[in-house]
Chain A
């Protein structure tokens, strides 16, 4: 048993910490948000240059990391600083998926993603899919040897900034079938792609993308037809780990800001941190954050396990992070008082991310359901787990 980081991982963490300390002040981040830009391109280039994007890919994929622990190390730091640059959407989710499919001739695209030269976005979720990965109604129909895509994709992370899109579409089956879903790699400038970008409550950016008779050829399909679900699920497991580690980092910052504030803020002639009612709440919060850290470690350690074990950990961790994230956000705001609610002060930004993390890749209820299904031993529950 060893909960320590390797020398390389410690170096990566320290380097990233230094970079973000220099380049990612709350004021700078807020200036980017106010300017209407989706993110700071110079910072994103800087992250690529440091090798942060490469650290989430395995060596055989052209990266130099890619383990669960690497993801955890990187994303905890990104979360601490509240990074809105599209590392999660482009490198982990879409990039990780593309790399895992191991499709011929795609290593150039991966290299561009690692270099930060191309933003890649996974256009998979749909207006009605909520948190179900199997729900795909976008159609891929064959006509005269070409494939034509029609449908609407929602909540596409970094969709409006992406140069390339990884689009899921159904070649056969009903909307909720796992079988029948394929992935296609297309330039975002393809004829028939209409992109409506928007900012999210937490400062990240997404897009709604309409595909109107987008014509692609067979070579743009990644892997065999209709068999993309397994890879989609595994990529979401990795992205969920990254997101949970990011939340952990945001919790640590929220806690640090609150402790600092409680020592400094005086009411009734004493620091408010001297009130036992608040001390106990902060102590409870610390306990919960340690639980969150353990949950993230659990998932990081089971990312390469068999599907059932891995997905049971995905749901356990995401459920716990959802609960603790909301608790930390709400408690930190409450203990700050009004100042914790202002846009000017960093706390409210971390609180927004902590709460909105529950709306991405499945919320507490969704993962509680899945966890129960994956934990069952009877045949009925196994079938039910399989359906999820």
Chain B
């Protein structure tokens, strides 16, 4: 469904991606793992068009994403949950959701569906997003991305700094989205979180993908985790 082919990208003069590739199918969770600074988040930003792709291609169902204007990428059905959540912190919960709904002209039905997934948000619709707790903010960031009814969901370290109950909740939603046929790309540091939900793992090192393996393969064999993550 989503194919990233040999992309190169840089922040100004500093080149970060040197030919990274990945692919993810509908109903699959692909996890990107690698050390800090390996380029995991940069791959997601490049998919969103926030960094121009200098070489290579990003396609969704065969349609090129790297040649269209960045604001059109989400309209094709890519939901993005950025690192650090990046909510519109002075807007209310309802307004954050509204921005998500506007992306692909989704209506009341999608809104109800999303609020049903996160009942906590329903109670706090008029609260300013910046005053929510960390876990609630993550729920809102996830809800906002789901408002697109995306084909592909990109999650950048969704469990960072959350308490275990929240991590479990986010995890459940991700698994549920998978079962509903979404393609999911997950950047995650916590190995246990990855191994329990991912289907495949792509290891990223120095801006390139090194190896893609089935998650089950890693459960018994820690050599690769050792090699790419140093744990």
- The answer to whether A and B belong to the same complex is no
- Residues of B at the A interface (CB closer than 8 Å) are none
